[in-house]
Structure 1
């Protein structure tokens, strides 16, 4: 059986050692020294401050693997920001028994997640607000892409070049290039293949 590689990040060495020791007790888990080697990251913090959120965001940008957050305090208003930083499981420190921690890591590794009911309810409210008040009025959907951007990316995924896409959609080539540039710059995507991959992961093409 292939072991799940887990990296642990914590502000203080005692917490770090405790979490690592707990995770090492299970044969199906392998604790690794760096996030770059990990399938899952366990991130522990007393409270989720703006600095901790910034750290989570930067960490997720460097290594895009699921994260299990162990904390005493997570403001419900910050739950969407945490999820956007690849946090798929939240464990209150008071309830973070060894079994729960390990189950959360295994769930994260298999594409699942574990969220306390109050935070899950708040997350759904924030996503609903985002969809209703922010995305829909701008012609965007939950992927952050407009209908026109999705049309262009779908044809790009089919292998069409700029001229062919322009002809198919009755746009100028400049318009197609502007659409692609708009997507890649707004969503911090590196290039066209990255934009297509983003749209495919979002399930819109």
Structure 2
């Protein structure tokens, strides 16, 4: 899958009465220009819309990604589009293979709409939901997604002592005590570890999770729900 140009365009429209502070900035991306035009025309009356043709602006709130069929190549293309963007993704597609579900989740897809069901009202509702931190998956895909999550837990995470947060039980204990303001010596005494062991645990977590420091580690623990 290739991009259609080099950079994202200027915004197409800001709905009247919506302040810059409250606006929802939506980037539209499609695999063909006709679909892209229809997508942007549908969204432009409700959001500030960008045509996503390359690297997305940093302040985009939602990416709407439309494609006829999701394949491994589609997932790879979506991964490139979202590599530097943390915005949630709403996927609009006519065909989705169940094998690609986990890959889509890894790319930040939080909602899936079948193309035949993507009316203006439904699309706008889904984008609003994604902008507020929600998500939506068709019922026929939800069971497959849960099964794949369970298989990942049983076959990949559990054998390594990890859970869905990417942390081991002892790492969770350390993060919780860091969040309470304890230093490494105090944590070691509390958990019956040496101070060096505690430092090694913290270093292992920050390196594996690509975090810069302990405050970021605590923030990760909050987002993961372990604190």
Q: TM-score under structure 1 normalisation? A: 0.88
More off after superposition, 34-43 vs 144-153 = 34-43
- Matching residue of 2:188: 166
Distance 1:189-1:45 versus aligned 2 partners, 3 A rule: farther
Matches within 5 A, 1:20-35: 20-26=40-46, 29-32=47-50, 34-35=56-57
Matches within 5 A, 1:47-126: 47-126=69-148
Gaps of 5+ in 2: 1-17
Moved over 6 A (4+): none
- Checking the alignment, whether the CA contact within 8 Å between 1:68 and 1:91 is kept in structure 2 is yes
* 1:192 corresponds to which of 207, 214, 221: 214
- Checking the alignment, whether the CA contact within 8 Å between 1:41 and 1:67 is kept in structure 2 is yes
Secondary structure (helix, strand or coil) at the match of 1:62 reads coil
CA displacement, residues 15-65 of structure 1 (integer Å, 9 cap, x when unaligned): 222111100122xx2213544221111112232233332333344442212
Secondary structure (helix, strand or coil) at the match of 1:37 reads coil
Secondary structure (helix, strand or coil) at the match of 2:193 reads coil
Deviation at residue 162 of structure 1 after TM alignment: 2.5
Distance 1:65-1:137 versus aligned 2 partners, 3 A rule: same
- Matching residue of 1:5: 25
Q: TM-score under structure 2 normalisation? A: 0.80
Secondary structure (helix, strand or coil) at the match of 1:36 reads coil
Deviation at residue 76 of structure 1 after TM alignment: 0.7
- Matching residue of 1:40: 62
Gaps of 5+ in 1: none
Partner Cα separation in structure 2 for residue 57 and residue 182 of structure 1: 26
CA displacement, residues 149-199 of structure 1 (integer Å, 9 cap, x when unaligned): 101111111222323322322222322222122222323333322222111
Distance 1:198-1:121 versus aligned 2 partners, 3 A rule: same
Partner Cα separation in structure 2 for residue 47 and residue 185 of structure 1: 36
Matches within 5 A, 1:115-154: 115-154=137-176
- Checking the alignment, whether the CA contact within 8 Å between 1:35 and 1:41 is kept in structure 2 is no
